[in-house]
């Protein structure tokens, strides 16, 4: 009997390790959810700096859970659904409440209605991806603005201007900051997946140098650098959309972009394949 016990423990350990590996991506997802909840708490206390930073941390965690799931081959249906629900909180509800307490409150009903539109758009963005994942073809693009990117527009703006608008006139600028990303999330405009861009990592050391420069700028001027990245990603997609429309021949259909659900949302691929 004494000889049998160590043997059973050795046999059980691989199975325990396997269960632990499957839980690892979900741990990052729960941490992402915690950041979304924390953002709501700090936003209601008018600590906008901390609230905006928590959304940024949630974006990093959302990237890590997808990366860990792919690395360990531990993606699961449970992880996908948990990640989608967490992202509705972290990149839908939390940015909406942050935006309202920061600058939409002077607009009263119009302000909270705009926040609700943003939450609904984020939820629809995730739901649309979840039902169209099976038809994925082009992994270079997202169809519609990814919800972390939309939340990043709000968070980076508030992080740059933590004092917020002081009158109703400036509150309308905050209204556009919320409504425009919401509309982009439910649109069919294609947004480039950053991780799918071939910038020649294997062929050029100069690219690594540029990355070092970008990290240095973020470290030295984080507020300005982060808002520049968020708005550059948004404006870049709109410019490419206008450019492709202008190049179309007269006989071609002038509807929305062909929906190629390549990456869909970074939140729900391979248990949460984030990263723009």
Q: CA torsion, points 219, 180, 50, 60, in degrees to nearest 10?
A: -60
- Asked if 87 and 126 touch (Cβ cutoff 8 Å), the reply is yes
Where does the pLDDT of residue 258 fall: very low under 50, low under 70, confident under 90, or very high at 90 and above? very low
pLDDT in tens, 51-88: 999 999 999 999 888 788 778 777 778 888 898 999 99
- In this predicted model, which residue has the larger pLDDT, 259 or 222? 222
The per-residue b/e assignment along 159-181, b for 16 or more CB within 10 angstroms, e otherwise, is: bbbbebbeeeeebbebbebbbbb
Cβ within 8 Å of residue 24, ≥6 positions away: 68, 72, 74
pLDDT in tens, 231-252: 999 999 999 889 888 887 655 5
> Per-residue pLDDT for 133 more than 60?
yes
- In this predicted model, which residue has the larger pLDDT, 13 or 242? 242
Lowest mean pLDDT among 3-7, 76-80, 152-156, 227-231: 3-7
d(CA 146, CA 182): 10
Q: CA torsion, points 166, 169, 171, 177, in degrees to nearest 10?
A: -130
* Average pLDDT value for the chain: 80
Percent pLDDT > 70 in the chain is 75
Cβ within 8 Å of residue 60, ≥6 positions away: none
> Per-residue pLDDT for 269 more than 50?
no
State residue 71 phi and psi, 5-degree precision. -65, -40
* Superfamily designation of domain 4-247: CDP-alcohol phosphotransferase transmembrane (TM) domain (1.20.120.1760)
Instruction: Give the distance from CA 186 to its chain's centroid.
Output: 14
- Asked if 37 and 57 touch (Cβ cutoff 8 Å), the reply is no
- In this predicted model, which residue has the larger pLDDT, 135 or 153? 153
Average pLDDT over residues 104-115: 92
Q: What pLDDT shows up at residue 195?
A: 62
Where does the pLDDT of residue 254 fall: very low under 50, low under 70, confident under 90, or very high at 90 and above? very low
Residue 192: beta bridge partners? 141
pLDDT in tens, 165-210: 777 778 888 999 999 999 999 998 988 876 655 555 555 677 777 7
Give which of 163, 193, 158 is closest to 178, Cα–Cα.
158
- In this predicted model, which residue has the larger pLDDT, 127 or 207? 127
d(CA 169, CA 164): 12
> Per-residue pLDDT for 263 more than 70?
no
d(CA 31, CA 51): 15
Q: What pLDDT shows up at residue 180?
A: 96
Q: What pLDDT shows up at residue 213?
A: 85
Q: What pLDDT shows up at residue 249?
A: 60
> Which two tokens mark 51?
């609230």
DSSP states of 26-69: HHHHHHHHHHHHHHHHHHHTT-HHHHHHHHHHHHHHHHHHHHHH
Q: Where are the beta strands (DSSP E) in the chain?
A: 141-143, 190-192
- In this predicted model, which residue has the larger pLDDT, 261 or 24? 24
């Amino acid at each position: 009997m004494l000889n049998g016990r160590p043997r059973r423990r050795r046999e059980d350990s691989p199975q325990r390790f396997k269960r632990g590996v499957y839980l690892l991506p979900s741990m990052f997802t729960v941490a992402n959810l915690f950041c979304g909840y924390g953002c709501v708490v700090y936003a209601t206390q008018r600590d906008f700096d901390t609230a905006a930073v928590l959304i940024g941390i949630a974006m990093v965690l959302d990237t890590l859970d997808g990366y860990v799931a792919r690395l360990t081959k531990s993606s699961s249906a449970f992880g996908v659904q948990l990640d989608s629900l967490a992202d509705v909180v972290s990149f839908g509800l939390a940015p909406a409440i942050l935006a309202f307490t920061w600058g939409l409150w002077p607009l009263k009903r119009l302000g909270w209605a705009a926040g609700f539109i943003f939450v609904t758009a984020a939820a629809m963005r995730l739901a649309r991806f979840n039902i169209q994942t099976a038809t994925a073809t082009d992994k270079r693009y997202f169809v519609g603005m990814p919800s972390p990117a939309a939340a990043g527009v709000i968070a980076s703006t508030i992080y740059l201007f933590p004092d917020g608008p002081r009158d109703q006139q400036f509150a309308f600028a905050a209204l556009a900051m919320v409504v425009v990303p919401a509309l982009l999330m439910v649109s069919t405009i294609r947004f480039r997946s950053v991780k799918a861009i071939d910038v020649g990592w294997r062929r050029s050391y100069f690219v690594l140098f540029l990355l070092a420069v970008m990290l240095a700028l973020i470290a030295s001027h984080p507020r300005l650098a982060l808002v520049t990245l968020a708005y550059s990603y948004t404006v870049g997609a709109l410019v490419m959309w206008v450019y492709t429309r202008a190049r179309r021949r007269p006989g071609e259909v002038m509807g929305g972009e062909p929906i190629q659900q390549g990456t869909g949302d970074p939140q729900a691929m391979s248990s949460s394949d984030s990263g723009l």
